Chains A and B, each alone.
Chain A
Amino acid sequence: MTITLEPAIHGDRVSLLRVLGPAHVWALGVGIVLVGEFTGWNFAADKGGALAALIVCWVVGLLYTSVAMIDSEVTSTVAAAGGQYAQAKHIVGPLMAFNVALFLVFAYTMLEVSDAILLGDTIVAKAGVEGLTHNSFIAATIVVLAWLNYRGVLMTLNVNFVITAIAYISIVILFFSVSPWTQGAVLKLNELVTPGNALPYGWIGVIAAFQFGIWYYLGIEGTTQAAEEVRSPARSLPYGTMAGMITLLIAAAMTWYVCASMMPWEYLGITYYPLWDAGKLTGSPLLENLLFVATLLAAMASANGCINDAARAWFSLGRDRYLPTWFSAVHPRYRTPYRSILFLLPIALAFAFIADLNQAITFSILSGVLQYTFMSINIIMFRKKWPLGSIRRGYTHPFHPIPAIVLFCLCVVTFFAIFLGFGSQLIAMVAFYFLISLWFHFYRYKFVRRGDQFTMPWPKPQGY
């Protein structure tokens, strides 16, 4: 396919540019998620103890492996901006698509907010200057990254690739610097995680820890948002997503091992910077500074990817008239959904100033889990409406329907985990989605063209 970088001629329909490869997909997915190793996952230790954080690292890894398998099949077949939104539109129906887009926008915008808060707090903690607040750093982060996204997706994801790689390498350097093969010198796992404190709340603490276990991997499914901008969706999306998942599983295991071997679980559960703290506790100024910089880079990469993804989901809503069409404009020169980027900017700024870190994380997790619940049902409907062989799939995931069932069951457990400690927030969020759904179904949907929403060259679904 020919790639054109020139501005579209006036009067032509301006579309997003197909310029991305598998490395960009990897950078988008891992870039969004890797910050979870630098902060957030450790709140699982707060809810259930250090061992619970490890158990959920593996079990939630299984949840996300199911997400990646399901997503790779559906997205390599429904390759359109908006990712899961476009999937819902073609497989379940418009109202579901509207909700899925909101899940995406909230999950990514609140994740962006969390990243900006982390970045601001980390700089303030490093500076150690009395009276210095994180507000200016938060504002600068969000505005500069929004500008970067405004200017173009290729530049945005090239930046993400570099800073994500540096942040990842810092975890590997820390891991090998603390002699992971010996205990007692730097790492003291046996003395910090004892039979008496490994599961301080028992098994209910393990279930409660699922909530923040999600944070190890939340956002990997964001790779699908680039579907209209990758050169070969059928190849790049499954490859980039699966490679990203493997990368994250390795990073999560290394992070837990180092942090649980260096900090008491009560401290690990409340610190905002577990890896930076681990760097400090080694006593090496080089490692301390490396992990400080890596924490900032991971937060920047994540916020950068989140702005990219949230804007594309919002853009898709405008393009299909689910929201005013004003949002569907593509910049004539940079070919980015610039109005959506600018619209979401003040919302992110506002919440970065009024929410604290674990509240913003919980908002993001809630929207994420609602979306995964949809995905588990969506793949069953997809296979039923278009059985294997009826349409061309870029990738077919194995063992169907086991990943869907596993994903659904783990989502139910995670809802229960959120109920344990954050139940009011969950009810408030679902009440919002319910009310906005009524608004869409009974009012807004009248502005939507019916048949035009179905854009895939597929036969009529079975059963309709």
Chain B
Amino acid sequence: MSRYTPPEQSKAGQVFDIAVVVVAIFVALWLPLKLGLAGAAKSIDALDAKTWEALGQNPTMASIWEKLGYTPETAHDIIQNRFHYVIDWPTLIIMAAVLVGYFVFLFRASDREYRDVINEKFDDK
């Protein structure tokens, strides 16, 4: 197998590639933050009676909250801010498909590239 000689990349091309990677990193990490897609999916189950008992706190727990500087009113939004684990099947299926598709593409495309590497490396010997 003949050795593959890659093209020389110009300085401008290198700068452009760096810019592509930087933009991609910022889009991937910043966009979910900007669109509000990042962060925990929690909501507050509000209670009318804001007492330690109503908040499900025994005397030991209540004394620790107070030691930490909280009252039943200020602790309410912390204690009642809960996850609601409802499995959204369409989203779960999309997530699984995206993950599986990604890994399948990775391994298949990598294998094609790897065969070229091995052929060139060992056919020289």
Binding site for B on A (CB under 8 A): 46-47, 88, 92-97, 99, 106, 110, 188, 191-192, 194, 196-197, 200-201, 204-205, 208, 262-264, 266-267, 270, 277, 281, 321, 323-326, 347, 350-351, 354-356, 358-359, 362-363, 373, 377, 415-416, 419-437, 439, 441, 444-451, 453-454, 460-461, 464
Provide the residues of chain A in CB contact with B21, threshold 8 Å: 323, 436
The contact string, 1 if C-beta is below 8 Å from chain A, for chain B 3-15, is 1101101000011
Provide the residues of chain A in CB contact with B14, threshold 8 Å: 324-326
Verify A188–B120 contact, CB threshold 8 A. no
In the bound assembly, the distance between CA atoms of A425 and B32 in angstroms comes to 6
Known contacts A429-B32, A450-B117; 9 additional CB pairs below 8 A are: A94-B114, A96-B107, A191-B60, A201-B85, A270-B81, A424-B32, A430-B95, A431-B98, A432-B28
13 of the cross-chain contacts (CB-CB < 8 Å) are A106-B29, A264-B57, A264-B61, A267-B65, A324-B15, A415-B99, A421-B41, A426-B95, A430-B95, A436-B21, A451-B124, A464-B115, A464-B119
Count, A-B residue pairs, CB within 8 A: 205
Provide the residues of chain A in CB contact with B42, threshold 8 Å: 421
In the bound assembly, the distance between CA atoms of A277 and B57 in angstroms comes to 19
In the bound assembly, the distance between CA atoms of A97 and B95 in angstroms comes to 23
Verify B65–A281 contact, CB threshold 8 A. no
Verify B78–A270 contact, CB threshold 8 A. yes
Verify A432–B27 contact, CB threshold 8 A. yes
Verify A449–B4 contact, CB threshold 8 A. yes
* 8 cross-chain pairs, A with B, having the tightest CB-CB distances, nearest first: A93-B110, A432-B28, A93-B114, A451-B120, A324-B14, A424-B37, A191-B60, A451-B121
Provide the residues of chain A in CB contact with B28, threshold 8 Å: 428-429, 431-432
Write the chain A residue with the least CB distance to B4: A450
In the bound assembly, the distance between CA atoms of A428 and B39 in angstroms comes to 13
Write the chain A residue with the least CB distance to B60: A191
Provide the residues of chain A in CB contact with B121, threshold 8 Å: 450-451, 454
The DSSP consensus for interface residues of chain B is helix
The DSSP consensus for interface residues of chain A is helix
A93-B110, A191-B61, A449-B6 are contacts. A201–B18 as well, Cβ < 8 Å?
no
Write the chain B residue with the least CB distance to A262: B64
In the bound assembly, the distance between CA atoms of A202 and B27 in angstroms comes to 36
A347-B25, A448-B6 are contacts. A323–B78 as well, Cβ < 8 Å?
no
In the bound assembly, the distance between CA atoms of A83 and B8 in angstroms comes to 28
Verify B64–A321 contact, CB threshold 8 A. no
In the bound assembly, the distance between CA atoms of A169 and B42 in angstroms comes to 36
Write the chain B residue with the least CB distance to A363: B29
Q: Which of A106, A425, A428, A451 contacts B117 (CB 8 A)?
A: A451
Write the chain B residue with the least CB distance to A444: B17
In the bound assembly, the distance between CA atoms of A461 and B122 in angstroms comes to 10
In the bound assembly, the distance between CA atoms of A263 and B105 in angstroms comes to 46
Q: Which of A194, A200, A415, A434 contacts B105 (CB 8 A)?
A: A434
Q: Is B46 an interface residue (CB 8 A)?
A: no
In the bound assembly, the distance between CA atoms of A416 and B24 in angstroms comes to 26
Verify A264–B64 contact, CB threshold 8 A. yes
